[in-house]
Structure 1
Amino acid sequence: MPLVVVAISVLVLLFLMTRLKLNGLVALLLVAVGVALVQGIPAAKIGDVLGQGVGDQIGDTLLVVGLGAMLGRVMGDSGAAQRIAGRLVGAFGPRYVQVAMVVTAMLIGVTMFYEVAFVIIVPVAFTIVRVTRKNLLWVGLPMSIALSTMHSFLPPHPGPTAVAATFHASVGHTLLYGLFFAVPIGAAIALVWPRLPFVRRMNPTIPQGLVTEREFEEDELPGLGWSLFVALVPIVLIAGAAVADMAVSDDDNPVLHAVDFIGSAPVALLLTLCLAIWAFGPRIGRSLDEVSASCVSAAKSMAMILLVIGAGGAYKGVLVEGGIADYIKDFTEGWNISPIILAWLIAAILRIALGSATVAVVTAAGVVAPLVAGSGVHPELMVLAVSCGSIAFSHVNDPGFWMFKEYFNLSVLDAIKARTTYTTVLAILGLGGVLAVEWALDALNI
């Protein structure tokens, strides 16, 4: 039974990494090979499947994570990150620094991928931790939860947008309905989770090399205007492209093509990095050698993180190649329950088995699509049900899990305690939010 294979592989992975203390990259690749053999993937093909899984994952994240890390380090080594962090702490006060992180993450995360927004905001979170002496998860976890909520629940993120197209749902209405429950649920979990006893007992340190150890004096810091301007450039470019795609229906519009080009995450981050190199280098009297050293330091620190994320992609790849998605389609066929709950359940099961939220949401949409037309349920609510289910139970077969673990310098078990629990609760409360919106729409005869 494929789901048993997934469960056993997860247990073996945990044993290798927690008891035997095996490196995450090696453990993930060993388990991926084992799953491939058990699932009947031809031995001659396993290498190609692993390579494709790594390539698909690294292809999506290498440039974003690498350029984001360099940008963050350049801003950190120049004092720009400290300037922004100091202003956030000054505006909200040390007591409400979590609120500052939630507000920032939700505003940025509405239109930006989780990974992109994460690498842009996390240097500021690291600097706030260093300045305020707060626990890393106390500051960083609310940011991650808020970003996860925006990314998984709402268009224009890729999963919900793809499902909206499959169900012929309005992207605008889906976003409107989703905001009613995504914002309060995401904010509540973001503020509650760091206060839970099992999370408060964790006290990880900031990974070395990702943030400067230097504390700048006030007169050494660059101006707030330039610091904010550089930080906001990728947000404006990426968000602007997302809004343009939603507002303009003419795919042949040359202006739209240009906006999409400069608004793609790698290009936006590359342009911003070039701007940062000048703005926080020669413009303030730092040599290009100093700025280049910051970029090199960030790249070295990211090497193992990227390798582990890539290995997570290899593990996911053998699960997909092994036909687990097809098995789940057959397994859930004919279940006689509410279409909304069924859509959520199928997406959640696929997420648990395959790891990738995008793969889970797109596959679940294909299974559920025949139900939409005859169910009488608003297609926008079906989109939200599938999207909410796809965030559940992020664990070791999710490359995003490894990004979370490595950036917050957690053990595998602590990452499971922190991330797996919050993603699952978000998914369950999200389902409740969808059902509540359905009840309200029915009551209003909409």
Structure 2
Amino acid sequence: MPLVLTAAAIAVLLLLIMKFKVHVFIALAVVSFLLALALGMPLPDIVGAVEDGLGDTLASTGLIFGFGAILGKLLADAGGAQRISTSLVDRFGQRWVQWAVVVASLILGVALFFEVGIVLLVPIVYQMSKQAQVNFLYLGLPMAAGLSVMHGFLPPHPGPTVIAEQYGANVGMVLVYGLVIALPTAVIAGPLFTYYARKYVPSAFTKTEVGTLAKLGEGQQFDIKDTPGFASSALTALFPVLLMFASSIVALLQDGLGLPENTFFQAVEVIGEPTTVMVLSVLVAIYTMGIARRIPMTRVMQSAETSVKAVGMLLLVLGVSGSLKQVLIDGGVGDYVATLFENSSISPLVLAWLIAALLRLAQGSATVAALTTAGLVIPLIEGSDANLALVTLATGAGSIIASHVNDTGFWIVRESFGLTVKETLATWTVLETIISVCGFGFVLLLSLAV
């Protein structure tokens, strides 16, 4: 029954949004309450679950998106985003601009959380689409594919790192195998899928109106000689990457060398947190895109205020999508799926992928799906000869399948690219499924060789 009720709730949500044109924010809130009642949650707990889900989601994404929006707007209004996009298009040429985006998203995705990568890259990629005179989604899907692949398969991202620790896998081998899997998967789910998506979802690729985050990149168009230098612009845009990457390297060295915890490592850990990274990055942007260019502070702050206002509704949508996810978790949907596979004798690789996939479909959170799967699979791999690094990657692959309406990432992508729910299901949901299936396929191939 929990799975049937979840499916019914998703159907009601889609009906409210697509048929009756109810705003996403209102529809998600209504369905969250209805599903909590249907799952039999105690009445006093329902409001708490809705509020906790909204609060937890905004706590983890609110400041990231707020400061990320400010950073993107400062880059756009000073001409930095235009300088970056023009330079990349000139360097790669219009014919290869899509591949330039894939390479950039893979490189940046090594260090950036998915949400941080989206909020930073969307305005720049939008500028690139205008410079190259191609549709925004034509570049946007490969960008999202690159970020998602790295987030799902590679340490030091939280999912792969925590799962590896749970299984006792060698993080270094997870990184090596993850790279082998990630590169071909990004090509298949990015440029190749986009080629076919343009044929069966043409409406998504002919839009003239874009999403909230892309609009942050619509700053004043400059004569190229009046824009900041490429080095200054690129450093400002890449500053979050550099901070996160440096923090990750220090953490890996500490673990690898067995160094004790001290104030230095604690400070590095705090600096590497996404929220801290974005605060420091905004301060750098205020200097490089404002003070250093002798732009009055009032104009700089006006850009910042405009950007925060622009993402207000986006943050509410993301928050209430977290409410739906929390109801599914507190209502026991994930626990129900987990009990289906108790005492299973299926291969650990297949079982890890399958359980994670079903948990992801049922309750939306990739992290919850992955960690719950680890707890179920660990007893099965004790004493077996299963390659723990590959079990880690199989779990990660299953946990990112079919992002849909119960996943915060679904709404991030929809709002970023200005898509309808139907178009998001036909593009982003399919893209995530391709990443999951291809990633698992490559895991199976590797298991034959290692």
TM-score range, shorter chain: over 0.9
Whether 2:310 is the aligned partner of 1:308: answer no
Q: Please name the residue that 2:94 is paired with.
A: 94
Does the 8 Å contact 1:339/1:375 carry over to 2?
no
Q: Give TM-score scaled by structure 2 length.
A: 0.96
Aligned match of 1:210 in 182, 199, 216? 216
* Cα deviation, residue 131, structure 1: 2.2
Q: Give 2:69's aligned residue.
A: 69
Is contact 1:168–1:379 with CA below 8 Å preserved after alignment?
yes
Confirm or deny that 1:198 pairs with 2:200. Answer: yes
1:186 and 1:59 mapped to 2: Cα distance?
30
Q: CA deviation at 1:258?
A: 1.8
| Secondary structure class of the residue paired with 1:248 | helix
Q: Is structure 2 residue 227 aligned with structure 1 residue 221?
A: yes
Match among 377, 387, 391 for residue 368 of structure 1: 377
Residue 246 of structure 1 corresponds to 252
Partner AA of 2:200 in structure 1? F
Q: What's the RMSD between the two structures over aligned residues?
A: 1.2
Query: Offset at 1:214?
Result: 2.2
Separation (CA, whole Å) in 1 of partners of 2:393 and 2:354: 12
* SS of alignment partner, residue 230 of structure 1: helix
Give the residue type in structure 1 aligned to 2:153.
F
State how far apart, in whole Å, the 1-side matches of 2:418 and 2:243 are. 30
Structure-2 separation of matches of 1:148 and 1:251: 33
1:234 aligns with 2:234: no
Deviation at 1:267, TM superposition (A): 1.2
Question: Whole-Å Cα distance in 1 between the matches of residues 87 and 225 of structure 2?
Answer: 15
Alignment of 1:250-399 (within 5 A): 250-399=259-408
Letter in 2 for 1:206: V
The separation in 2 between residues aligned to 1:122 and 1:313, in whole angstroms, is: 22
Alpha carbons 2:124, 2:217 under 8 Å: kept: no
Which amino acid in 2 is paired with 1:317?
A: Q
Letter in structure 2 aligned against 1:133: Q
Q: Which whole-Å deviations, capped at 9, do the CAs of 1:410-442 have from their partners, x for residues lacking one?
A: 00010000011111111111111111111011x
Q: Does 1:16 pair with 2:16?
A: yes
1:434 aligns with 2:443: yes
Residue 135 of structure 1 and its aligned partner are, at CA, apart by 0.7
- Equivalent positions of 1:401-420 (< 5 A) are 401-420=410-429
1:121-200 alignment, distance < 5 Å: 121-196=121-196, 197-200=199-202
Q: 5+ residue gaps in structure 1?
A: 442-446
- Counterpart residue type for residue 143 of structure 1: M
DSSP 3-state at the match of 1:206? coil
3-state SS of 2:336 partner: helix
- Among 422, 425, 437, the residue aligned to 2:431: 422
The answer to whether the 8 A contact 2:73-2:219 is kept is: no
Taking the aligned partners of 2:95 and 2:220, their CA distance within structure 1 comes to: 24
Residue by residue, what CA displacement relative to the aligned partner does 1:96-143 show, whole Å, maximum 9, x if unpaired?
111111101111111221011111211210111222231111011100
What is the CA distance between 1:206 and its match in structure 2? Answer: 2.2
CA drift at 1:334: 2.8
Cα deviation, residue 219, structure 1: 2.1
Q: Distance in 2 between matches of 1:432 and 1:48?
A: 41
* Alpha-carbon distance in 1 for matches of 2:249, 2:183: 19
Per-residue CA deviations over 1:172-195 (Å, capped at 9, x if unaligned) read 111111111211111222111221
Q: CA deviation at 1:210?
A: 1.8
Percentage of identical aligned residues: 38
- Partners of 1:429 and 1:207 lie apart in 2 by 29
Matched residue count = 441
User: CA–CA distance in 1 between the matches of 2:188 and 2:437?
Assistant: 14
**Corresponding residue number in structure 1 for 2:109:** 109
In structure 2, the gaps of 5 or more residues are: none
Distance 1:274 1:80 in 2: 15
Aligned to 1:444: none
Contact 2:169 2:389 in 1 (8 A): yes
- Check conservation: 1:167, 1:369, Cα contact below 8 A: yes
Q: Which amino acid aligns with 1:429?
A: C
Q: Runs in 1 of length 4+ with deviation above 3 angstroms?
A: none
3-state DSSP class of the match of 1:124? helix
> Contact 2:79/2:219 (CA < 8 Å) preserved in 1?
no
C-alpha contact (below 8 Å) 1:392/1:423 kept by paired residues: yes
Q: Provide, for residues 50-82 of structure 1, a one-character-per-residue CA deviation record: whole Å limited to 9, x for no partner.
A: 010001111110111111111000000000000
Q: Are 1:372 and 1:382, in contact at CA under 8 Å, matched by a contact in 2?
A: no
Q: In 1, are the aligned partners of 2:54 and 2:320 still within 8 Å (CA)?
A: yes
Name the SS for the 2:220 alignment partner: coil
Cα distance per residue 1:15-70 (max 9 Å; x no partner)? 00000000001000100001100111122221111010001111110111111111
- Contact persistence 1:194–1:200 (CA under 8 A): no
Deviation for aligned residue 1:213: 4.4
Separation (CA, whole Å) in 2 of partners of 1:408 and 1:74? 20
Q: Using a 3 Å threshold, how does the CA distance of structure 1 residues 105 and 251 change in structure 2: closer, same or farther?
A: farther
Which deviates more from structure 2 when the two are superposed, residues 162-171 or residues 277-286? 277-286
